[in-house]
Amino acid sequence: MVVVFAITLLAFGLFATERVPVDVTALIVMVALMVLEPWTRISVEEGVAGFSNSATITVLAMFILSAGVSRTGAVQRLGARMATFAGDNERRQLLSVISVAGLPSGVLNNTPIVAMLIPAVSDLAREGGTSPSKLLIPLSYASMVGGMLTLIGTSTNLVASDVSARLLGRPFSMFEFTALGAIVFLTGAGYLLLVGHRLIPERIEATDGLLAEYEMGEYLTEVVVTDGSPLVGRPVETVDGAFPADVAVVRLLRDGREVDDSTAETSIDDGDTLIVRARPDRIQRLISTQGLSITPTDVSEAALDDSSDGAAGGPGEGSRDSDPVCGPRTLVELVVPTGSSFVGERMTGTPLEREYDVDLLSVRRGNDLLHRRIEGLVLDRGDTLLVHAPTATLERMAADPNVIVARELPNREYRRAKLPLAVGIVLGVVGLAALGVLDILVAALGGVVAMVLGGVLKPDELYDAVEWDVIFLLAGLIPLGTAFTETGAATLIGGLVAESAVYLPALGVLWVFYVITALTTAVVSNAGSVVLLVPVGVATAAEIGANPFAFVLAVTFAASADFMTPIGYQTNLLVYGPGGYRFTDYTRVGAPLQIVLSVVTVLGIATLWGI
């Protein structure tokens, strides 16, 4: 038990400090358990069993099924209807976001749903005159409580079902806890509509363009095209190519208004103003070589008011001739999700720069806006990047699983003709598993096969659809849960928790365990909490003579309820940057919700299953 506790503390430390990625931490745990087999009682076969575990494979299949639905544009279609219904009424906007994020999360993985809805919700907020901050935390929270509607709503449910089957011989059925999930969902939705939205600060002004939102005024320079400049007469759409690669032409203004860069007929005139980001030494060189002059005033408000389009870009002498990307450029936010291959990489040399030809202007990391020396910055999960990108590359970026384009692309191509088939496949998986015709694992894998044979997904898209960090996290931590049971560590901790029964009734002990799980999730992750604490919950129930299944359910629901931090649940991290939030915003909004749901969930378990 001492050895297992030591490995667990190591894992907690690595999870909390993020010295290495979470999936690597899980692999370290797995290897340590096998190397120390005489003490951990985890053989090689048991150590790698997480990779063949039914929960792990089912989670993998659900990622692919979710990706198949997303390829048809189903979620985006829901987003469009959401915008039509909501208009500029903030209450309707909030209700739409909660419904569109929460209900589909009952049958599809909630992380990709949030990733797909961030652009639509951000656009909905700005077009309706609402701060995006007011809608993005509700987007995440709604997806979290919506995931508790069915067995397949989150990976947490599937893992808990597998552990429950191993320890109690009682896995979850498809709609095992739908009644309680509906109560939790309605409670969460009511809280967000009546209380939560009042607690969310407007970190981003509804009227701010992206340049103003990222406070770029101090880091941009206005230069004026003078008479005799080689730029005069040049098509606007090629102006970006006239400058070196480390100079970003963000806007072109004429008489205080932005010049449309979409037509080759428009040319640069004497007196036009360029808004550029470049080092001071580079600015001085451009002045001498391109016939430019620096305006004596700060960057004008016209440069900061509108985020719709940037300056043009295209082939030109001296820098981007060899780049195949040309045409108009635009400002856009990019979110680096958990599991992205860009995490740990410097911006220079990544596909963002090499393949998509983006100019990095600023980085939002937590509470901080970073502007200086950002080219060499090591990217981290949750970073939100303000970039100046060719419009021609946006669709390819939107299809890249390593980055989320936080803006709806109206011309993005979807396999809309496959929408009925994709939805039918998912409903078929749910129905076959719910009726007991097929095991959920078999039904989910059959759905994957149907997606490929039906043309919803191409074979090479299967691998990009899977969040491999989650798969390795599950596979690496499942043996740790087994070690807790085999060595008696779970029984020891369960006995200690059971001591609270001296002062509390069984219902109180169940609530304490819910709280312990919720706090653990903030450090370890939701799936990790389930793997570690379900065995402890079963042992606690045995010590006090309570219903062990009630404790399994308490752990399952609490592990999906980390509302108080942006790092304990992936969807919270995804909206962190686009919402401009501070760490404490999650505590302010999430703590009351956490308390309310802890009471509602525990009372619901006691009523529906007994203690």
Pair 529, 521: CB distance under 8 Å: yes
Select the more confidently predicted residue: 510 or 287: 510
Pair 92, 86: CB distance under 8 Å: yes
How much is the average pLDDT of 76-95? 83
Classify domain 221-298 at the CATH topology level. Alpha-Beta Plaits (3.30.70)
Pair 514, 180: CB distance under 8 Å: no
The answer for residues whose C-beta is within 8 angstroms of residue 507's C-beta and 6 or more apart is 602, 603, 606, 611
Is residue 503's pLDDT more than 90? no
Is residue 323's pLDDT more than 60? no
- Kindly give the residue spans of alpha helices, DSSP state H, lying in 72-132: 74-86, 90-102, 110-127
For the chain, what is the mean pLDDT? 84
Among 309, 295, 134, 139, smallest CA distance to 209 is for 309
**CATH number of the structural domain 329-405:** 3.30.70.1450
Pair 120, 79: CB distance under 8 Å: yes
Among 121, 145, 144, smallest CA distance to 134 is for 121
Name the band, by pLDDT with cuts 50, 70 and 90, for residue 593.
very high
DSSP 3-state assignment of 258? strand
For residue 53, list its beta bridge partners: none
Select the more confidently predicted residue: 334 or 263: 334
Pair 259, 266: CB distance under 8 Å: yes
Pair 199, 584: CB distance under 8 Å: no
Select the more confidently predicted residue: 238 or 98: 98
Among the residue ranges 95-109, 278-292, 309-323, the one predicted with the least confidence is 309-323
pLDDT tens readout for residues 189-220: 999 999 999 999 888 887 667 788 888 877 78
Q: Any idea where the domains of the chain sit in the sequence?
A: 7-204+424-608, 221-298, 329-405
What is the reported pLDDT for 538? Answer: 92
Name the band, by pLDDT with cuts 50, 70 and 90, for residue 308.
very low
Q: How far is CA 198 from each of CA 201, 361, 456, 585, rounded to the nearest angstrom? A: 8, 32, 41, 12
First to last CA, the chain: 29
Q: Give the C-alpha separation, 598 to 155, whole Å.
A: 20
Select the more confidently predicted residue: 316 or 397: 397
What is the reported pLDDT for 260? Answer: 64
* DSSP 8-state symbol, 547: -
Name the band, by pLDDT with cuts 50, 70 and 90, for residue 325.
very low
* DSSP 8-state symbol, 194: I
pLDDT tens readout for residues 121-130: 888 888 888 8
Pair 539, 494: CB distance under 8 Å: yes
Among 554, 606, 480, smallest CA distance to 156 is for 554
pLDDT tens readout for residues 546-579: 999 999 999 999 998 889 888 778 888 889 888 8
What is the reported pLDDT for 240? Answer: 72
Query: Tokens 């990733």, residue?
Result: 115
CB atoms within 10 A of CB 164: 25
Select the more confidently predicted residue: 501 or 422: 422
Is residue 395's pLDDT more than 60? yes
CB atoms within 10 A of CB 206: 17
What is the reported pLDDT for 313? Answer: 35
Is residue 83's pLDDT more than 80? no
pLDDT tens readout for residues 32-52: 999 999 999 999 999 999 999
What is the reported pLDDT for 379? Answer: 87
Is residue 171's pLDDT more than 60? yes
Q: Give the C-alpha separation, 29 to 482, whole Å.
A: 12
Name the band, by pLDDT with cuts 50, 70 and 90, for residue 225.
confident
How much is the average pLDDT of 58-74? 90
DSSP 382-417: T-EEEEEEEGGGHHHHHT-TT-EE-S--TT----GG
What is the reported pLDDT for 301? Answer: 53
pLDDT tens readout for residues 68-78: 998 898 877 88
What is the reported pLDDT for 88? Answer: 81
| Percent of the chain topping pLDDT 90 | 36
pLDDT tens readout for residues 266-305: 788 888 888 888 777 777 887 877 777 876 655 655 555 5
Among 282, 177, 308, smallest CA distance to 223 is for 282
Query: Where in 198-319 does DSSP place strands (E)?
Result: 221-225, 248-254, 257-258, 273-277, 292-294, 312-313
What is the reported pLDDT for 426? Answer: 94
What is the reported pLDDT for 315? Answer: 30
How much is the average pLDDT of 371-377? 78
DSSP 3-state assignment of 370? strand
How much is the average pLDDT of 442-448? 95
Is residue 149's pLDDT more than 80? yes
Q: Give the C-alpha separation, 149 to 178, whole Å.
A: 5
Select the more confidently predicted residue: 525 or 70: 70
State pTM to two decimals. Answer: 0.83
Is residue 309's pLDDT more than 70? no
Q: How far is CA 361 from each of CA 131, 380, 388, 448, rounded to the nearest angstrom? A: 22, 16, 7, 40
